[in-house]
Amino acid sequence: MTTPVSEFTRRNFLKTTSAAFVLAGAFPLAVSAQQSGATNPLKIPAQDAGRDEGGVRVYDLTMQKGVTTFFEGYKTATLGLNGDYLGPTLRMRDGETVRINVTNTIGETSTLHWHGMHLPAKMDGGPHQTIPNGTTWSPEFTVKQKAAALWYHSHQMEKTAEHVWRGLAGMVWVDDAESDAIELPKTYGTDDLPLVLQDRRFDSNGGMEYNAGMRDMMMGMVGNVALTNGTVDPYFEATTEKVRLRILNGSNASFYYLGLDNDQPFTQVASDGGFLETPVEMTRLLLGPAERAEIVVDLTPGQVVSLRNISNASGFRFLEIRAAETLTPSPAIPARLTSIEWLDPKDAAVTRRFDMETRMGGMMGGNSHTINGKVMDIKRIDETVKKGDTEIWEIRNVAGMPHVWHMHDVQFQILDRNGKPPAANERARKDAVTLRGGEVVRLIMRFEDYADPDSPFMFHCHILEHEDAGMMGQFVVV
Ligand SMILES: [Cu+2]
């Protein structure tokens, strides 16, 4: 397996901590580097398509304590769902009714949030839907969703960062008639891969305890080792001409600027909430915490190419792809992938404004991360939205550091970023958007189907340390 942790961390901290932060500007970094060939086969999370119970698709997820061997000879205490670290990829279909029995055995209260899903607030798994240790929560809802790679993670009030860090996360892939028919790679684990990208801070004993210090609370908790589906320094042996990578930035706080190490182009075909209308060829992809992108990589026989985070000095590797000497042909990517119903700003009933702000407290007070000057109060409803309304939400990052806006219930569209049209790969259904320091985005969304004056949805920064520090608010749809 891989280099022992002590050497790994020392070497790479020395190599990167001084220069890397400068090179990457304001972005928090994950630091580690791999110079030679990758050492571990990529772990592929199990797929779980549930079981049919009288027309309802039923899943069982157990949140549990685990022990994971990330580095040979080192046992690391972790959390997982139906396993030691992370959880299975749930497969579900648009139009189906699903029930997920979530049993908590981790020894403390948690929650499980369906990130990116459009569903009733009571089923959302936010801070109000707590699951005490030893109990089972069984949300049931109808999937009303375009095909997309979504995810689930703990959303426990003030503990989200720690729970996700320790491993309480996994993916949800929604399928529909369009994704069934589309000519893109879709054989799970063969040419269609989930890639949960994370970084974790390991100590010299192989531990990855969540010990956030002052700087971590300000900047977000950043690691010294890259993990892909919980694998350190992984490789994948490809057998097809094209591989589709469904990438989730599952980190607490790191922004990944991804590219292939030979700078060959790849094609983005989907964003957070499903397919782009047309594929976008690119060589670099920025993903903030919680954002997703599906990309297709073209391979030549015998090729070895690596997906790297090139935003730090060492350019650490998330995945080495080793193409077989003979590759099964893959069809060309369709020129048109889907149609998106673009919302018209003229139809917006309301424009709301949100300032994301970070203040450094200095000697007298603590640091603060706020939205419109407020920190989260679970008893306070910040915004009330009328069901059926289209709204514009203007988000300003008035801080110097980047933040990530995420809101529950809806997939939004980006009208503009700093007054200019969004990049081609952000003309999409999205539920999370990265804002660099000083940036302004205008989002448009429609609040459909579900209203409940007693159960709020969340909006928050998806840097999890910021969320836990109170950079979160609540809205109800009535
Ligand atoms: Cu933030």
Q: What is the mean pLDDT of each run of 10 residues along the chain (478 residues)?
A: 37 33 29 68 98 97 98 96 98 98 98 98 98 98 98 98 98 98 98 97 94 91 95 97 98 96 97 98 97 98 96 81 98 98 98 94 70 96 98 96 97 98 98 98 98 98 97 98
pLDDT at 165: 98
Rounded to the nearest angstrom, the distance between the alpha carbon of 78 and the centre of ligand 1 is 25
Rounded to the nearest angstrom, the distance between the alpha carbon of 28 and the centre of ligand 1 is 11
Rounded to the nearest angstrom, the distance between the alpha carbon of 237 and the centre of ligand 1 is 37
83 vs 278: CA distance, rounded Å = 37
Of the candidates 287, 307, 295, the one whose C-alpha atom is nearest the C-alpha of residue 333 is: 295
Examine residue 25 and state whether it is found in any structural domain, yes or no. Answer: no
Q: Which of 328, 354, 385 is the last residue of a domain?
A: 328
Q: Say yes or no: 237 and 349 in one domain.
A: no
The 3-state secondary structure of the chain reads CCCCHHHHHHHHHHHHHHHHHHHCCCCCCCCCCCCCCCCEECCCCCEECCEEECCEEEEEEEEEEEEECCCCCCCEEEEEECCCCECCEEEEECCCEEEEEEEECCCCCECCEEECCCCCHHHCCCCCCCECCCCEECCEEECCCCCEEEEEECCCCCCHHHHHHHCCEEEEEEECHHHHHCCCCCCECCCEEEEEEEEECCCCCCCCCCCCCHHHHHHCCCCCEEEECCEECEEEEEEECEEEEEEEECCCCCCEEEEECCCCCEEEEEECCEEEEEEEEECCEEECCCCEEEEEEECCCCCEEEEEECCCCCCCEEEEEEEEEEEECCCCCCCCCCCCCCCCHHHEEEEEEEEEEEECCCCCCCCEEEECCECCCCCCCCEEECCCCEEEEEEEECCCCCEEEEECCCCEEEEEECCECCCHHHCCCECEEEECCCCEEEEEEECCCCCCCCCCEEEEECCHHHHHCCCEEEEEEC
Which residues have CB under 8 Å from 421's CB, separation 6+? 427
Rounded to the nearest angstrom, the distance between the alpha carbon of 462 and the centre of ligand 1 is 6
Examine residue 28 and state whether it is found in any structural domain, yes or no. Answer: no
Rounded to the nearest angstrom, the distance between the alpha carbon of 289 and the centre of ligand 1 is 10
323 vs 243: CA distance, rounded Å = 10
169 vs 88: CA distance, rounded Å = 9
Q: Say yes or no: 351 and 316 in one domain.
A: no
Examine residue 468 and state whether it is found in any structural domain, yes or no. Answer: yes
pLDDT at 365: 57
Q: Contact at 8 Å (CB) between 276 and 270?
A: yes
Q: Say yes or no: 275 and 366 in one domain.
A: no
Q: Which of 134, 150, 175 is the last residue of a domain?
A: 175
Of the candidates 185, 180, 181, 182, the one whose C-alpha atom is nearest the C-alpha of residue 330 is: 185
Rounded to the nearest angstrom, the distance between the alpha carbon of 92 and the centre of ligand 1 is 31
Examine residue 5 and state whether it is found in any structural domain, yes or no. Answer: no
Examine residue 29 and state whether it is found in any structural domain, yes or no. Answer: no
Examine residue 21 and state whether it is found in any structural domain, yes or no. Answer: no
Examine residue 287 and state whether it is found in any structural domain, yes or no. Answer: yes
- Global confidence as pTM: 0.92
Q: Say yes or no: 298 and 353 in one domain.
A: no
Q: Say yes or no: 287 and 409 in one domain.
A: no
Rounded to the nearest angstrom, the distance between the alpha carbon of 148 and the centre of ligand 1 is 25
CATH of the domain at 80: 2.60.40.420
Domain hosting 91: range is 47-175
Q: Say yes or no: 72 and 101 in one domain.
A: yes
Examine residue 266 and state whether it is found in any structural domain, yes or no. Answer: yes
Rounded to the nearest angstrom, the distance between the alpha carbon of 401 and the centre of ligand 1 is 8
Q: Say yes or no: 165 and 187 in one domain.
A: no
pLDDT at 339: 98
Both tokens of 122, joined, read 């009571």
Rounded to the nearest angstrom, the distance between the alpha carbon of 2 and the centre of ligand 1 is 33
Rounded to the nearest angstrom, the distance between the alpha carbon of 471 and the centre of ligand 1 is 7
Q: Which of 149, 175, 201 is the last residue of a domain?
A: 175
The dihedral over CA atoms of 294, 298, 304, 305, expressed in degrees to the nearest 10, equals -40
Q: Say yes or no: 161 and 229 in one domain.
A: no
Both tokens of 366, joined, read 């603590």
Rounded to the nearest angstrom, the distance between the alpha carbon of 188 and the centre of ligand 1 is 33
Rounded to the nearest angstrom, the distance between the alpha carbon of 336 and the centre of ligand 1 is 35
43 vs 36: CA distance, rounded Å = 20
Q: Say yes or no: 451 and 368 in one domain.
A: yes
pLDDT at 170: 98
pLDDT at 36: 76
Q: Say yes or no: 194 and 74 in one domain.
A: no
Q: Say yes or no: 188 and 303 in one domain.
A: yes
Q: Say yes or no: 159 and 235 in one domain.
A: no
Bridge partners for 437 per DSSP: none
Number of domains within the chain: 3
pLDDT at 214: 87
